[in-house]
């Protein structure tokens, strides 16, 4: 019986395992040293904040794995012998495979800062990171968070829930400046400050200072300011967790290099999720896609190939979503931090400064290219249909009700948005009634 071994029990690896089992009788073994069973990594913050218990983050009962004949092995993989199809584990044993799936995820970036390996200096990626935060929180009065991204906001919200002061250092001139346009970045920056975070821009980490026990006691910024703290959160992005295979013959760059079928340069070895890097993305998106839903889609796609139906990864229109304290964020298509030469945009912001809609479109054709929303929920299928179908910005604005996913008792903003567009562009667009047949039609 063919043996499929999956290294990593995150969303990518577990989705692959589940779908391989649906499609075949192959022997499946999932290896991970993080936890005994798969859990929702995105729920780590809610465990810390007391909203959930760890057992609530496991989508499947513990008996699910044995019942579905998915073997679980708690171990670290030290080396991969691709010639003999053999894994060497940290307990001194070996494990043979016929097909190998690398789903080893990411790790927080470290950029050689002095003191970066001290105690109470870490990111927020694994269950062990959560345990470490729990250990150090009772003796932490102030935490300093480095890097303006989604995980940094989660960490800030977690500490504030326990009454721990937070200083947030961002090297750009606004929050998440490498991703968000300035107006959205400014909106989120105001919101973060509103929650009591000491948010500072154009400042970077220079050094982390230790106490007598090897724990962080302060940081030094690039402008030589010393900030006393007992915890340093490293949230300046993540990198594929592939250091253990750098000496082998699996081709890597920043991540494990794969083609459109998620195949590496070694036959019968595949990579997916945060650790996979495309030679050239099959749909023109970024070659590294380190978000939850892409890991899930890669797992579903690769299961088809493993089970004899060779299938290319085609994820469609880029999208992502997140939550910044009380504000929900969605993005569809491409809304870059700076407009490109062929692009124009329309931006509407509510007078309260915590709700906005940003549409980017092609100057020549008016075709919609991207959508950002903060504080407004949109229907995924509608936004995707607009962008794939090359709808114009005028069409999207007139049919905003089709996309609105907020409950009926939420305030609606379509009229305000269209009125502003009409004033700016001299048009006479009108809000069209929602049409469920139009929303769910395939055309």
Domain co-membership, 332 together with 374: yes
Q: Determine the structural domain holding residue 198 and report its residue range.
A: 121-236
**Residue 230 counted as domain residue:** yes
Domain co-membership, 323 together with 436: yes
Out of 183, 206, 236, a domain closes at 236
The pLDDT score that the predictor gives to residue 196 is 97
Domain co-membership, 86 together with 169: no
Answer left, alpha or beta for residue 161, where phi above 0 means left and psi between -120 and 50 means alpha. Answer: alpha
**Residue 199 counted as domain residue:** yes
Domain co-membership, 245 together with 99: yes
What CA–CA distances, in Å, run from 314 to 202, 257, 287, 381, 421? 38, 17, 13, 16, 34
**Residue 299 counted as domain residue:** yes
The pLDDT score that the predictor gives to residue 166 is 98
The pLDDT score that the predictor gives to residue 410 is 75
Q: Name the DSSP letter for residue 363.
A: T
3-state SS, residue 228:
strand
**Residue 112 counted as domain residue:** no
**Residue 201 counted as domain residue:** yes
Domain co-membership, 161 together with 98: no
Cα(11)–Cα(297) distance, rounded to whole angstroms?
Answer: 9
Domain co-membership, 294 together with 379: no
Out of 306, 327, 362, a domain closes at 306
Domain co-membership, 126 together with 231: yes
Place of tokens 């340093």: 232
Domain co-membership, 247 together with 232: no
Q: Are 231 and 143 in contact (CB under 8 A)?
A: yes
Dihedral of CA atoms 43, 329, 235, 208 in degrees, nearest 10, equals -120
C-beta atoms surrounding 60 within 10 Å: 15
Domain co-membership, 229 together with 294: no
Cα(8)–Cα(272) distance, rounded to whole angstroms?
Answer: 10
**Residue 113 counted as domain residue:** no
**Residue 290 counted as domain residue:** yes
- This prediction has a pTM of 0.93
The pLDDT score that the predictor gives to residue 118 is 98
Domain co-membership, 80 together with 135: no
What CATH number should be reported for the domain holding residue 96? 3.50.50.60
pLDDT in tens, the chain (443 residues): 999 999 999 999 999 999 999 999 999 999 999 999 999 988 999 999 999 999 999 999 999 999 999 999 999 999 999 999 999 999 899 999 999 999 999 999 999 999 999 999 999 999 999 999 999 999 999 999 999 789 999 999 999 999 999 999 999 988 898 899 999 999 999 999 999 999 999 999 999 999 999 999 999 999 999 999 999 999 998 999 999 887 789 999 999 999 999 999 999 999 999 999 999 998 888 899 999 999 999 999 999 999 999 999 999 899 999 999 999 999 999 999 999 999 999 999 999 999 999 999 999 999 999 999 999 999 999 999 999 999 999 999 999 999 999 877 778 899 999 999 999 999 999 999 887 778 777 66
**Residue 312 counted as domain residue:** no
Domain co-membership, 103 together with 245: yes
How is residue 243 written in tokens?
A: 């250091």
Domain co-membership, 432 together with 327: yes
Is the CA virtual torsion 334, 336, 342, 348 positive or negative? positive
Q: Are 42 and 19 in contact (CB under 8 A)?
A: no
What CATH number should be reported for the domain holding residue 419? 3.30.390
Q: How many domains does the chain have?
A: 3
The pLDDT score that the predictor gives to residue 337 is 95
Out of 174, 207, 236, a domain closes at 236
Q: Are 369 and 387 in contact (CB under 8 A)?
A: yes
Cα(30)–Cα(35) distance, rounded to whole angstroms?
Answer: 11
């Amino acid at each position: 019986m063919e043996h499929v071994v999956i290294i990593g029990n995150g969303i990518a690896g577990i989705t692959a395992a589940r779908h391989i089992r649906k499609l075949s009788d192959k022997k499946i073994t999932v290896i991970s040293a993080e936890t005994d069973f798969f859990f929702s990594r995105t729920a780590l913050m809610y465990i810390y904040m007391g909203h959930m218990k760890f057992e609530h983050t496991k989508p499947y009962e513990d008996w699910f794995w044995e019942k579905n004949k998915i073997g679980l092995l708690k171990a670290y993989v030290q080396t991969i012998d691709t010639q003999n199809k053999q894994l060497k584990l940290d307990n001194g044993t070996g494990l043979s495979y016929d097909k190998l799936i690398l789903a080893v995820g990411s790790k927080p970036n470290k950029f050689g800062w002095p003191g970066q390996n001290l105690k109470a200096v870490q990111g927020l990626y694994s269950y062990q990171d959560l345990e470490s935060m729990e250990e150090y929180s009772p003796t932490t009065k102030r935490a300093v968070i480095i890097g303006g991204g989604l995980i940094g906001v989660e960490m800030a919200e977690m500490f504030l829930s326990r009454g721990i002061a937070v200083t947030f250092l961002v090297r750009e001139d606004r929050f998440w400046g490498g991703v968000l346009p300035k107006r959205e970045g400014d909106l989120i920056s105001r919101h973060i400050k509103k929650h009591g975070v000491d948010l500072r821009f154009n400042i970077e980490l220079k050094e982390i200072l230790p106490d007598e026990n090897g724990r962080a006691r302060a940081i030094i910024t690039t402008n030589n300011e010393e900030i006393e703290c007992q915890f340093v959160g490293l949230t300046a992005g993540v990198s594929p967790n592939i250091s253990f295979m750098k000496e082998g013959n699996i081709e890597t760059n920043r991540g494990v290099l794969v083609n459109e079928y998620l195949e590496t340069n070694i036959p019968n070895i595949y990579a997916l999720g945060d650790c996979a890097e495309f030679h050239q993305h099959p749909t023109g998106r970024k070659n590294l896609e380190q978000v939850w839903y892409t890991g899930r889609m890669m797992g579903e796609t690769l299961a088809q190939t493993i089970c004899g139906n060779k299938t290319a990864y085609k994820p469609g229109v880029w999208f992502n979503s997140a939550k910044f304290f009380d504000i929900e964020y969605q993005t569809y298509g491409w809304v870059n931090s700076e407009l490109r030469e062929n692009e124009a945009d329309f931006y509407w912001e509510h007078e309260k400064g915590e709700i906005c809609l940003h549409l980017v479109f092609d100057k020549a054709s008016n075709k919609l290219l991207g959508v950002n929303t903060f504080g407004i929920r949109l229907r995924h299928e509608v936004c995707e249909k607009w962008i794939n179908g090359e709808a114009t910005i005028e069409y999207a604005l007139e049919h905003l009700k089709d996309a609105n996913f907020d409950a009926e008792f939420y305030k609606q903003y379509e009229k305000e948005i269209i009125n502003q567009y009409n004033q700016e562009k001299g048009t006479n667009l009108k809000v069209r009634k929602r049409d469920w047949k139009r929303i769910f039609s395939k055309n």
